[in-house]
Amino acid sequence: MNVSVTHLNDSVIKATYTINHEVVRLSSTHPLDVERIPVGGEIKPHDHDYYEISFVVAGKALHHTVDGTQRISPGSVIVIAPGGVHAFSQVEQTEVINLYYLAEWIAAGWREQWHERGLVPLFLAQTLFQREAKPKPAVLQLSAVEARAVETELGEIRDELKRTEPSLLFLKAALLKVLVRLSRASASGAEEFPEMVWAALQDIELCVDYGRMFDLHVLFRRWPISPDYGSRLFRQTTGLSPQEYYQRRRIQRACSLLLARENTATRVAMELGYADAAHFSRLFRRHMGIGPKDYRQKYVSSSPVGAGS
């Protein structure tokens, strides 16, 4: 269930710093991380450039977001999407387990994940679609039984990450189990898209998966509407035009492929149907802020280290 919120003039909360990759060093071999952290005192408003899920396992504190203030205690779970701002005060012997993950890595196969009520809206939507510049963190409350189950799952992830070559299959399966448990505990339901938009999303995903070019007119040919109207409805629902979403998903698919050591930027460009490596690099840089080779260097060569809330 969601934690009740008391409005205490937090509407102007603004990030004073950002926790980024230099702090949370995820990589191709460790695309997620779990760490147990004592919260020693007040934490000023900040945001992240990745998803963070924070599980309160001891103590209590006040948690501040643009929505107001929540009192958190053992069993509270805070979900912070990239760009979401939050802070802590009145911290009393608080300890959290933080979970971080590369959204591009887990976003592959999201069509199956969507059927788990609330999973994609909570844990992937900010990456998949054009959402708020400053998304609101979600705060959930687990029962004692649910909290123990999640803590056990997180312990298994930590143990797997200690292996010389952790199994990516194990890590992805364990992460999805945690996300499903949290989705079931959330009061938010699955995000309902109009039938036409849902069909368009799936068609675009197939184009990305099989390296096919996307054709707007073919996409909406089955519906008794014009491509212009279909595009407007798609944008109203997702924040992106169909073409923008297609390009966004191609680049996210490229990110996932680039995490494999054997995949060069040229090979990925060919697999995804780009005209040439130079065109692919330009589009990749436009979406990600760095080129595909820099992305590989950032994540494939990285080793994970600790982070903070």
Q: What are the pLDDT digits (tens) for 128-182? A: 887 666 788 889 999 999 999 999 999 999 999 999 999 999 999 999 999 999 9
pLDDT at residue 32, rounded to an integer = 95
Q: Average pLDDT, whole number, for the chain?
A: 87
Structure tokens at 236: 């109203």
Residue 168 burial class via C-beta count within 10 angstroms: exposed 0-12, middle 13-18, buried 19 and up: middle
- Beta partners for 168? none
For residues 94 and 200, membership in a common domain is answered with no
pLDDT at residue 56, rounded to an integer = 97
For residues 257 and 178, membership in a common domain is answered with no
| Model pLDDT for residues 8-61, shown as the tens digit of each residue | 344 568 899 999 888 888 999 999 999 999 998 999 999 998 999 999 999 999
For residues 200 and 264, membership in a common domain is answered with yes
For residues 215 and 137, membership in a common domain is answered with no
Q: Which of 42, 50, 54 shows the shortest CA–CA distance to 16?
A: 42
Asked if residue 272 has pLDDT above 60, the reply is: yes
For residues 119 and 234, membership in a common domain is answered with no
pLDDT at residue 307, rounded to an integer = 47
pLDDT at residue 291, rounded to an integer = 95
For residues 124 and 246, membership in a common domain is answered with no
For residues 111 and 254, membership in a common domain is answered with no
* CATH code for the domain of 123: 2.60.120.280
| Model pLDDT for residues 275-298, shown as the tens digit of each residue | 889 999 999 999 999 999 999 999
Residue 100 burial class via C-beta count within 10 angstroms: exposed 0-12, middle 13-18, buried 19 and up: buried
- Asked if residues 99 and 52 have their Cβ atoms less than 8 Å apart, the reply is yes
pTM summary value: 0.85
For residues 164 and 245, membership in a common domain is answered with no
Angle between helical axes of 292-300 and 242-258 (0-180°, round to 10): 50
Structure tokens at 134: 């400053």
pLDDT at residue 256, rounded to an integer = 93
The whole domain housing 295 covers: 195-300
User: By three-state DSSP, how is residue 192 classified?
Assistant: coil
> Quick check: is 128 in a domain?
yes
* Residues 6 or more apart whose Cβ sits within 8 Å of residue 256: 104, 105, 107, 108
For residues 179 and 217, membership in a common domain is answered with no
Last residue of a domain, one of 185, 215, 250: 185
Q: How confident is the model at residue 121 (pLDDT cuts 50, 70, 90)?
A: confident
For residues 161 and 208, membership in a common domain is answered with no
* CATH code for the domain of 225: 1.10.10.60
Query: Amino acid letter at 19?
Result: I
> Quick check: is 11 in a domain?
no
> Quick check: is 90 in a domain?
yes
Rounded CA separation 203/285 (Å): 25
Q: Using H for helix, E for strand and C for coil, what is the string for 53-104? A: EEEEEEEEEEEEECCEEEEECCCEEEEECCCCCEEEEEEEEEEEEEEEECHH
For residues 152 and 46, membership in a common domain is answered with yes
pLDDT at residue 226, rounded to an integer = 84
Rounded CA separation 70/4 (Å): 6
| Model pLDDT for residues 19-34, shown as the tens digit of each residue | 988 888 899 999 999 9
| Model pLDDT for residues 226-264, shown as the tens digit of each residue | 888 889 999 998 999 999 999 999 999 999 999 998 899
> What is the number of domains present in the chain?
2
> Quick check: is 124 in a domain?
yes
Last residue of a domain, one of 146, 162, 185: 185
Mean pLDDT across 184-204:
78
Rounded CA separation 64/108 (Å): 32
